[in-house]
């Protein structure tokens, strides 16, 4: 399957060697997540899972200058029956979980506000860079629902239970500086610089051993859910899988020859 087919609600294009830029592309409605975007993103993430081809790092951002993703498209949802709502949410769930499960690292370049499902999407990425004008919120309780795409699980893991309860139960927004202080966001930049900084970091990651980076992502994610001694064992198994790779041999050889390694993902 070609990775970079044309999508109705998103674009996917190479932004540099081994770096893929994915852009949520519904700026006229704040890049809100509708049914078609759910289908498009699920197709993209599934394709990247099955065969990433030349991609070693992904940057996810939003079109426009003010909003990363406003969450679910409430105009589309207006008047939905329960069964229609649940069917749509099932699609959204599969899209989010496929993003979380991607072996390839994903950086969220949050160019503007990330509310509700938009914040949940950013939380499904490996880490976040944000515009200093961005605001964040999980607003679901103000609509009579609750986060249902990982918000009640990923946010507490990022900022702690007590602060996450306050954020989710009030539905009130917080700014990028707070998000950085709390550990939700890694870096805060001027709006014009967020994407470039994320792409720079993606380029650095893409220049490292791709198998190594994938094993690191897997070890942190799954090891964090284990008892510590078991997690140590899991880490060592991940480490041992790299010892006999061509990339490990090339990395050591390049170091001794005082040159940059040429990794092939083998």
Choice among 120, 200, 227, 246 that is catalytic: 120
**Catalytic residue status for 120:** yes
Q: What angle do CA 159, 162, 163 make, to 5 degrees?
A: 50
Q: Is-contact 113 134, C-beta < 8 A?
A: yes
**Would you state the structure tokens that stand for residue 95, as one six-digit string?**
């899209």
DSSP bridge partners of 13: 21
Choice among 93, 140, 235, 246 that is catalytic: 140
Q: Is-contact 48 4, C-beta < 8 A?
A: no
DSSP bridge partners of 57: 19
DSSP bridge partners of 137: 115
**Catalytic residue status for 8:** no
Q: Which residues are catalytically annotated?
A: 120, 140
């Amino acid at each position: 399957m070609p990775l970079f087919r044309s999508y109705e609600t998103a674009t996917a294009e190479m932004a540099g060697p081994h770096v893929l830029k994915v852009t949520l592309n519904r700026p006229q409605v704040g890049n809100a997540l509708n049914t078609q975007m759910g289908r498009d993103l699920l197709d993209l993430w599934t394709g990247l899972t099955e065969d990433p081809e030349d991609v070693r790092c992904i940057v996810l951002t939003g079109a426009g200058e003010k909003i990363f993703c406003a969450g679910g498209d409430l105009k589309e949802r207006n008047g939905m029956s329960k069964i229609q709502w649940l069917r749509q949410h099932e699609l959204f769930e599969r899209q989010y979980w496929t993003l979380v499960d991607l072996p390839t690292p994903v950086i969220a370049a949050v160019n503007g506000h990330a509310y509700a499902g938009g914040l949940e999407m950013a939380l499904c990425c490996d880490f976040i860079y944000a515009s200093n004008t961005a605001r964040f919120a999980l607003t679901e309780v103000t609509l009579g629902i609750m986060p249902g795409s990982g918000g009640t699980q990923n946010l507490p893991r990022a900022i702690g239970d007590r602060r996450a309860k306050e954020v989710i139960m009030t539905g009130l927004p917080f700014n990028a500086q707070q998000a950085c202080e709390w550990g939700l966001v890694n870096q805060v930049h001027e709006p014009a610089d967020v994407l470039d900084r994320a792409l720079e970091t993606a380029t650095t990651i893409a220049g490292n051993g791709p198998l190594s980076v994938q094993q690191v992502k897997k070890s942190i994610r799954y090891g964090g859910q284990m008892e510590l001694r078991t997690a140590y064992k899991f880490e060592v198994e991940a480490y041992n899988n790299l010892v006999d790779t061509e990339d490990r041999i090339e990395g050591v050889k390049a170091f001794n020859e005082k040159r940059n390694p040429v990794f092939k993902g083998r």
